[in-house]
Amino acid sequence: MLKRSSIFRNFLISYIVILLIPCVGGYISYLTSISVTQSISIDNSLIQLEKSQELLEHRMAEVEGMTRQIAINQEMNMLMNDRHKVQDVYGLWKAMRNVLTFGQTNDFLQNYFIYLANYDLILTSGSTYRPEHYYEYFHYDDLSFEDWKTQVLQKTHRSEIKPVTAYTERGMDTSVITFMQSLPLDSFNDSSPANVVVVIDEKTITGLLSGLTKGFGGWVHIYDSKGNTLALQGNIPSYVDKLKDDPAFDANKTSQFYENDLVITTRSDKSGWIYQAGIPRTALMENANKIKRATFVLTGGTMLIGLVVGLLLAHRNSVPIHSMIGIIKEQFGRDELEKRNAYDFLSGNIANMIKTNKQLEGELTLQLPLVRDAFIKRLIAGEFESRDEIVAAAKQANISLEQGSGYVGILCINGYSGMDSVEILNELSATRLLMKQALLEFAGPLPISDLGSDKLVVLFFSSGNRETGQDEEERITALMEELIQHVFQEYKVSIQAGFGEAFETLMDVSQSFEQAKQALEYAVFVNSKGMLWNHEARIENTTYYYPLDAEQRLASTIRAGEEEEAGKIIDGIFEQNIGRRELSVEMRHQLVGEIKGTFLKLLDQKVFQESNMLETVKRRVIDIGSAEPLDSVRSEIKGITETLCGYIANKKKDSHAKLVQRMYQYTEEMYANPDLTLYRVAEYVERPEKYISQLFKEVTGVNYSDHLIKVRMEKAAGLLKESNHTVDDIAAQVGYNSSHSFRRAFKRLIGVTPSVFRQTLDD
């Protein structure tokens, strides 16, 4: 299903396009390389043909130069002009010795002779012949003796060349071209005194061109301006003789392809000879074909490997996006992907989430004053069950608790008691606002909350350099007196203030608040100006101290299992009644009865009804005697509190352990799912994600993410031991989309890579 998705297809197409770009560049480079290689081969062949032409013309120039040397030789001139009937044998010998030695320096001069007409004699190197005798050993196959004598020996020649002709030399068949020059050089008659005839073996000429025929398996054709063939060598194609007459062949081009050969043509400016070399296309393109094969193999291999890598990358990169789309569909119930691009779908939903989140943040910011006010009201009312709950709520309200100790004060606006008209309420609201601004100006930012229409509650938390005690009380007194005087002078508003005793823990704030209320009530009663501390008020202490909020806080802390906080509340209650009040016997009985009633009401709640110790604890509460000393009652009450809080704590531990066990079980079942996250686990156990994260860390000592990695690595180690699956397959089986991430996690936890781990097991 994934591979058919548009996300996977789009990734794959993009990778293929990226892969094709260098391939197109490589193809262009290949064409350029082929063209350059072909051009180089043609140029090399042309250079080789021109070098052969140059060498051949040089040798022919030497042949012609040899005839000039013979023409100016004195002995030869004497022999040519000798008219005596008696042959000059000595002159002939001397001419042979001086003239007929040129063959030692030029292989074109290995076979030549001089014909003397007046002697009717042929001079060769080392011998003399009568024409008929010479013809017996050396003759052209297409000329009779008479024709040979007439056309070669007796005719005047001016650097003439006889085309290639079949020739017999001492019974051996060969082909030769013949160079002929009459002596003297200025002979213009039909006959001349002497003729120099150089017979050049065709093999000697074609040997100079063997580089083209042997190296490329081609052919060489040399012919004169009349079309007479002078030399022909190599694998001669059938079209050679017709080539010059074919209109499709341009004789003026240096190189051109004709049929399956590259034909290179050059013309000699000196002799007018035409040199043609034919090179088969396959031989010419041999190097180019090597490049072609190598290019095709490399390009094909690269394309194949690139396609495989593209498939893997497309799969790897599309899986997270596909997963994100699935999560968005699952969470938001939207199914718009078929009509929209996947990225548009994601960006639209993510943008919507960001927008919604910002709106929510804005609303929370607007609600922050209300959150702060609600926190202060809950704090002074004693509604929190534990210190941790107070700290968390303070963090949410962005209120600094400093050291957790301080004072609670109540500021009351005088003169508005019993007035409830709209105008009065508006005036009181404005006055409270002015008082808050004045407090901010004189004391800085403080936690402040409205208490009714004419009162403010303010909390002074002790900081590092200001601790609770007489000095701090004097500082607060001076500050309040200055504030009261300032408000009266500026706004003609009279204020009374009452402050409670210092609270040492956050759970005692409500007690300090009650004391502040009592101090304010006393100040109003005696019409005291300014501010009054609780310990300065002469309050009748004949009744017992057990306010409703203290009872509620005690019940809440016991239900929460907070033994330490509950003990502090109990100590505070008994300290008030033992140390600061003189209770009658009846009041003591009433106090003990109230406390016993609180615990009996607690035991009637469902959380304790399921306990096996219910009857035992209830009996302990009932057995507390009203006439017992209050210290003994306190000890017994604290013992009962310890028992109840211990029960709640154990029950919490059992509940937490069961929850963690469910998380363990779910992880064991779902570890192979790549989408398994703490969010999925929270959905399964039906608890908030942050709650189970913190709970798991508290119970197990490790983060859930670390536990999940550990489970997956243990399963992977087992598969490496017991199966022959590849590392990539094992990575997929234990919940990893990326084998690279799996290898990295395995090495971090186990200490070695999966391959090394398996190799160690094999060893």
Domain boundaries, the chain: 6-51+286-326, 72-207, 209-284, 366-647, 671-762
3-state SS, 318-349, equals: HHHHHHHHHHHHHHHCCCCCCCCCHHHHHHHH
CB 197 within 8 A of CB 180: yes
Cα 121 to Cα 133: distance, rounded to the nearest angstrom: 10
> How many CB atoms are located within 10 Å of the residue 579 CB?
7
Query: pLDDT category, 103, cuts 50, 70, 90?
Result: low
From 92-106, 223-237, 482-496, 558-572, the region with the lowest mean pLDDT = 92-106
72-207 and 671-762 have identical folds: no
CA atoms within a 13 Å half-sphere pointing along the CA-CB vector of 461? 17
CB 184 within 8 A of CB 146: no
314: tokens are 């497309």
Q: What's the rounded mean pLDDT across residues 722-745?
A: 82
CATH number of the 209-284 domain: 3.40.1840.10
Whether 651 shows a pLDDT value over 70: the answer reads yes
Q: What pLDDT was estimated at residue 212?
A: 65
Q: What's the rounded mean pLDDT across residues 380-402?
A: 82
Cα 194 to Cα 645: distance, rounded to the nearest angstrom: 147
Q: Give the CA angle between residues 274, 276, 278 to the nearest 5°.
A: 175
Q: What's the rounded mean pLDDT across residues 720-741?
A: 81
Whether 198 shows a pLDDT value over 60: the answer reads yes
Interval 343-373: pLDDT, tens: 777 777 788 888 888 888 888 778 888 888 8
Domain 72-207 classification at class level: alpha beta
CATH number of the 671-762 domain: 1.10.10.60
Cα 643 to Cα 636: distance, rounded to the nearest angstrom: 11
* CATH fold for the domain made of 366-647: Alpha-Beta Plaits (3.30.70)
| Range ranked top by mean pLDDT from 24-28, 163-167, 334-338, 738-742 | 163-167
Whether 382 shows a pLDDT value over 70: the answer reads yes
- What H or E segment, with its residue span, contains residue 167? strand 160-169
Q: Give the CA angle between residues 755, 757, 763 to the nearest 5°.
A: 100
Average pLDDT of the residues of the chain:
80
179: tokens are 């160079």
CB 107 within 8 A of CB 55: no
Q: What type of residue is 354?
A: I
Whether 90 shows a pLDDT value over 80: the answer reads no
Percent over 90 (pLDDT), the chain: 1
Determine whether 296 is exposed, middle or buried from the number of CB atoms within 10 Å of its CB (0-12, 13-18, 19+): exposed
From 104-113, 141-150, 304-313, 723-732, the region with the lowest mean pLDDT = 104-113
Interval 463-508: pLDDT, tens: 767 777 888 888 888 888 888 888 888 888 888 889 988 888 888 8
From 39-53, 376-390, 395-409, 730-744, the region with the lowest mean pLDDT = 39-53
Interval 552-604: pLDDT, tens: 888 888 888 888 888 888 888 888 788 777 777 788 888 888 888 888 888 88
Cα 275 to Cα 220: distance, rounded to the nearest angstrom: 7
